[in-house]
Amino acid sequence: MKNFFYIASVFFSVLMFPFKSEAAELERMTTWKGTVSISEKITVPSGGILKIQPGTKVIFHENGEMLCKNGTLDAEGAEFEADYRSEKHFFNFKSSKVKFKDCVFRNMYPGKAHFSYNRNKSFFFMFYGSLTMTGCAIDKSSGIHLVWLGKALIEDNSFSDIYQRALTLQICRNSVICRNSFNAGKDTTETILLNCVENSSIIMNRFQGKAIALIIRGKSHHNNIIANSIFMPSTGIHVDGPAWNNIFLSNLVYKPSSTAFNFKESGKSNLILNCVSWGSEGVGFSIGKTEGIILRNSVSANGKYGIVISNNAQNPLVEYNLVWNNKYDKKGALELLKSSKNIVADPLFADPENANFRPRAKFMEYPDDSVLIGSGFPQGSNIGLYPGGFHK
């Protein structure tokens, strides 16, 4: 009888389940369209496929949640919304193949205030399997928590007014987070956490607002953090743990209220290249208990402190960087940096207060070339952002 109610409800575009304590299991091949209301636990069976068509609106009411174990979910152009705060996940996937394209998620909040690494407080939890999420909008919701995924693509999405943390990747590999927009709200404290993540890429994302943009913890290694623009965060990039062999290339942190690049603790051979800290209210580049870290061809300017290296740092290589006009940089520290092939000079960016970080050049009709041009390592390479600038 229950299956009859469910199938009939899908046909007429509205689900109306009688109250039952057990879960409702879908048919092996199910398509949703129209308006679908969920008021209990809905399960995609093992080997089953749920396809959600464009224009479908899925509403989670009290006790509503969606489970998928060893199944497939494929949604395009759908809207997902909740009218209550859940103590559980709205979406719970295990060993499944999941795809969301051009979808909208809104008002999916947890019932209690805990970070999304507490698995019960993210609206979207996935364990094993593969995820593709492209062109989606996540608004006024809690986070997405991915654990032990072998492959994930999160690309061209917008995250707005997220509750506490937008994305948690834990023990994942081969993940790509690319060209997403993150706009922190009043309840956003962190944006992305990578915990024991390997061989993954965080590329060309845009972060805005008072939150920590990116945190790297645990045994995270061989990740590429490239060409991300971070505007007015609390902290830009924070590394705390034995992470090793990660590359940080061409990232901009603009006017953070604390530290721009904070390597509090890290393992061997992390490489920071062609990055820019501008207007930090704390430290531009803070190098703490690290081993063999390389900071090269980067800029720290117009802030409180430029580059601060802890006595606990083992064999740091800090060379071919530029520091300029940091309020509390002492003469002795600047002379020490200069003796290590660093530059103390005005970088002559085109319009840094409006986040245009192209170096000035005579061919652009400026009177002088920026000292950044051709002053880096290897000889003849540029210091600062590559290929030349970010715009706000």
- Count Cβ atoms within 10 A of the Cβ of residue 240 and give its class: 0-12 exposed, 13-18 middle, 19 or more buried: middle
Contact present, 192 and 216 (Cβ < 8 Å): no
Domain ranges of the chain: 189-391
**Cα–Cα distance, 73 to 13 (Å, whole number):** 18
Strand partners, 314: 291
Closest CA to 255 of 130, 352, 361: 352
Q: Could you read off the pLDDT of 309-318 as tens digits, one per residue?
A: 999 999 999 9
| C-beta neighbour count of 16 within 10 angstroms | 11
Q: Could you read off the pLDDT of 42-72 as tens digits, one per residue?
A: 999 999 999 999 999 999 999 999 999 999 9
Strand partners, 282: none
Q: Is the pTM of this model over 0.85?
A: yes
Contact present, 16 and 37 (Cβ < 8 Å): yes
pLDDT for res 19: 33
| C-beta neighbour count of 187 within 10 angstroms | 14
Q: Is residue 23 very low, low, confident or very high in pLDDT (cuts 50, 70, 90)?
A: low
pLDDT for res 110: 73
pLDDT for res 80: 98
Mean pLDDT of the chain: 90
Q: Could you read off the pLDDT of 60-108 as tens digits, one per residue?
A: 999 999 999 999 999 999 999 999 887 788 999 999 999 999 999 999 9
**Cα–Cα distance, 89 to 112 (Å, whole number):** 12
Burial 153-181 (b: 16+ CB within 10 A, else e): bbbebebbbbbbbbbbbbbbbebbbbebe
DSSP strand pairing (72-76 vs 49-52):
parallel
End-to-end CA distance of the chain: 57
Of all residues in the chain, the percent with pLDDT exceeding 90 is 83
Of all residues in the chain, the percent with pLDDT exceeding 70 is 90
Q: Could you read off the pLDDT of 204-232 as tens digits, one per residue?
A: 999 999 999 999 999 999 999 999 999 99
